[in-house]
Amino acid sequence: MSVVLSVVENKLLSLPVPVRLVMPDGQKLGAPNADVCLMIKDRSTLASLVGGQVGLLGEDYVEGKFDVEGSMRDLMHLAASILPGSPIEAARIGRLTELIRRLLSVWRHSPERDARQIQFHYDLSDDFYALWLDPLRVYSCAYFSSPDMSIAQAQEAKLDHICRKLRLSAGERFLDVGAGWGGLLLWAAEHYGVDATGITLSKNQHAYVNRLIEEKGLGGRVRMELLDYRKLDESQPYDKIASVGMFEHVGRAQLEAYFSKLRRLVRPGGLVLNHGITAGGVDNAELGAGMGEFIEKYIFPGGELTHISHVLERLTEGGLEDVDIENLRPHYARTLWAWSDALEARLPEARKILQGEQGERSLRAYRMYLAGCAMGFEHGWIALHQVLAQPRTNGRHDELDNPADLSYPWRRDYMYGQKGGVS
């Protein structure tokens, strides 16, 4: 037996999950009755396995260098156990490194590049996403207000959670920045009676939501535009704004300008809710062990992680005041496992939709992405924060009397009371 195989076999003995390796020549290593079996087709994969380079292992899987038998949950348990250290540990960066990071972020997020990056992800296939998302196609963290909820129920609970936080009421002008397949946009219009505008850079989503608006007869007070947030008209401010799962695509260097834009788009006294993925570590811009590079290459080009402390700094510099902050990290772990389980249950259908060699690579990438992100949220390497904010009041003397033009009543009880709305 070669030295490399000896090292690999010793590595297998130390794993918490029984694992079996089948080599290209048929040689078998590890437990005979393993929960996870890796069929190795390219021996270069062994170096990533021994070194704990989980992201490179993901790339090897996408590129067909090995196959997997076993559940994605067991595979992720294995992945977490081989990491050489915490993927969110990062040394304090110097000024030059920060400058380079900032310049790169600016370069990566021009309107044209953002449009291409969004379309790369969201225009993969509507039918593919429909296989594993809920019926409303809500592609963001759900809210499990009770432990026995299905993913569909939890997504509806999330939509209502956001609407209650924003205190939406009939006739208000509501903006959904990055409206996806229209879940929140239509929920707010149908259940809270708002006049709703949504924007997206995805051509597929734009066409899909406009069909729904027409089918539901909501054309008079709901609209979906194919538009970059930077081009939104500021002449008629909105009463309430939500941005869900979008600011991850903005770029760290653009966050102050992004929040400043939202401030100019909302009326004085209105409310803004920003819902998005945040970094688990203060200084890391992406997950280590190659996981960040994997997501950049196959899933979300241009995505950048930012710790909630930095988010709040940029939000404040943008002229907004945070009034409520909620971390939904465990909810996203559960959401992602629900998506992963749903995709795993429908792999044959997914292969019919994503045909050809490129389709198979995309399917493999999403299998790793969904389960890997579920693992990341479980371990606290990434988080999900909802930040409710209002334009800075600059010390209004009457704000403690809850005047009608100030939407936030400085008490949380309204968010968690009975379901609101007009229906």
Catalytic residues: 373
Asked if 257 contacts 58 with a C-beta cutoff of 8 angstroms, the reply is: no
Backbone angles phi, psi at 396, to 5 degrees: -60, 130
Distance of CA 295 to the CA centre of its chain: 11
Tell me the C-alpha distance between 226 and 179, whole Å.
10
User: Do 272 and 262 touch, CB atoms closer than 8 A?
Assistant: yes
For residue 13, count other CB atoms closer than 10 A to its CB. 10
Calpha distance 113→333 (Å, rounded): 29
Other beta carbons within 10 angstroms of residue 185's beta carbon come to 30
Q: What are phi and psi of 175, to 5 degrees?
A: -115, 130
- Are the beta carbons of 294 and 58 closer than 8 angstroms? yes
With vertex at residue 321, the alpha carbon angle to CA 320 and CA 324, rounded to the nearest 5 degrees, is 125
Q: CA-to-CA distance for 246 and 203, rounded, in angstroms?
A: 16
3-state SS class at 369: helix
State the Cα angle at 378 between 376 and 382, rounded to 5°.
Answer: 45
State the DSSP string of 251-297.
-GGGHHHHHHHHHHHEEEEEEEEEEEEEESSSS-SS-TTTHHHHHHH
Tokens of 47: 């170096």
Neighbours of 84 (CB within 10 A): 11
- CA-to-CA distance for 124 and 112, rounded, in angstroms? 18
DSSP summary character for residue 147: T
The C-alpha atoms of residue 47 and residue 93 are separated, in whole angstroms, by 29
